[in-house]
Amino acid sequence: GLGGDSYVRHDERAVGAVIRLGPRKVVPICQLAGESGPLVHHMLDQQLSSPAPSDLDGLLLVAEDYDERLVALEGIERRLLETMRERVAVAARVLSTSQLRRVMERLVQRGVLQLAAFTPTDAAHVLAMQSNYDTSAAVKAAELFARRRDRLGRPVAADGRTLSRMVIDTLVRRSAEAVLAAAFVHDGLPPGTVDQQVVQVALNRGPGVAGVTVGMSLPLIGLGASAPAYYPAVAALLGAPSLVPVDADVANAIGAVVGRVRLSRQCVVTAPQHGEYLVHLDGEAPARYDELDCALVAARSQLSATLAADMAAAGAALFETKEEWSEDVVELGGTALFVEGSLIITATGRPQLSH
């Protein structure tokens, strides 16, 4: 979940600024402003003029293929999209209740909705490290995020530029830790080695009587459109040379082809009343079943068929799958009642390249 489109969060339980990145991917505000500029800027200006910050500040909902999605949904899910009125909507206007927030989360998990929010890409625009999209929208989004409060009610940053520097520094540090973790595992060390105190102290590069260093013995190659903005700093933290190809964005796409293909598909099973189970699949009306087991069999079958087609389209007709099922159950009068469950099937395989 580390990259230019990582969802930036602040730990409200912490004292001071504690920035979290990912694992959720979102649309950068500056990118969405290039497509829906008037709406994005109006939201940012309006929320910046508000005397108090909100946890929904700077958040937008995006529904690609809005009309098709609207037809396929029912009940409160359909009402949420109807409240949006169009492809892009301000979250603070749409998510007026905690129930609607839960519905939004469910639709995001299923891929019906995307979120647009402040990201490292926005932070990079504020700091003039990138200029691909709408920098003024990024600046406003950063100022808005900086107003958020910590546990003591203090702003997390003095201004948007300070906040943006914190975000980029966090991205660089977490990326360096991820690279080191992979290197440690390659060298036969336990996966948690990077979290050990001596490694963290070495990465801090602070003064001390004991000179502790840790780094990479190989160059760090950065791929992707944002590679020139971040990877030189990651490499510097690791004491390694940085290699960013001229066509880094193209190389990233090629790497996705020659590497392993990994796709996940999800559906949600809900129980609006006892003895009724609805299987919610993206792009289809919910299917009703009288038994949970029957609903699960149907969900598994349809997800598997969708994954098989998608993996074949990606060039990986031979693949392995992994299934995850989680459910929410409440106790009522000593009886466990099923409320909602989520089925995720993940397929991985290597594309078969033509010779």
Q: Give the Cα separation of 23 and 20 in Å (integer).
A: 9
Torsion of CA 113, 131, 236, 172, to 10 degrees: -20
Q: Give the Cα separation of 162 and 195 in Å (integer).
A: 27
- 207 confidence band (pLDDT: 50, 70, 90): confident
What was the pLDDT predicted at 355?
A: 42
Strands 114-117 and 27-28: parallel
What was the pLDDT predicted at 353?
A: 52
User: Would you kindly state where each structural domain of the chain is located, as residue ranges?
Assistant: 6-161, 171-255, 259-349
Query: What's the average model confidence in pLDDT over 40-47?
Result: 98
Q: Determine what percent of the chain is predicted with pLDDT higher than 90.
A: 49
What was the pLDDT predicted at 22?
A: 82
Does pLDDT of 62 surpass 90? Answer: yes
Does pLDDT of 277 surpass 60? Answer: yes
Q: Give the Cα separation of 113 and 96 in Å (integer).
A: 17
What was the pLDDT predicted at 320?
A: 87
**Chain centre to alpha carbon of residue 295:** 28
Whether the Cβ atoms of residue 254 and residue 315 lie closer than 8 Å to each other:
no
| Sign of the dihedral defined by the CA atoms of residues 232, 235, 240, 246, in that order | negative
Q: Which of 157-166, 207-216, 231-240, 262-271 has the highest mean pLDDT?
A: 157-166
- 159 confidence band (pLDDT: 50, 70, 90): very high
What was the pLDDT predicted at 316?
A: 78
Q: What is the DSSP letter of 128?
A: T
**Chain centre to alpha carbon of residue 43:** 22
What was the pLDDT predicted at 248?
A: 63
Query: What's the average model confidence in pLDDT over 28-57?
Result: 95
Query: What's the average model confidence in pLDDT over 297-306?
Result: 91
Q: Which of 4-13, 206-215, 256-265 has the highest mean pLDDT?
A: 4-13
Does pLDDT of 253 surpass 60? Answer: no
> Which residue type is seen at 99?
Q
| Both structure tokens of 59 | 């958040």
Does pLDDT of 260 surpass 70? Answer: no
- 229 confidence band (pLDDT: 50, 70, 90): confident
- 249 confidence band (pLDDT: 50, 70, 90): low
Segment 309-328, tens digit of pLDDT: 888 877 777 888 989 999 88
What was the pLDDT predicted at 252?
A: 54
Does pLDDT of 254 surpass 70? Answer: no
> Which residue type is seen at 328?
D
* Least confident span in 126-130, 158-162, 165-169, 318-322: 318-322
Does pLDDT of 205 surpass 90? Answer: no
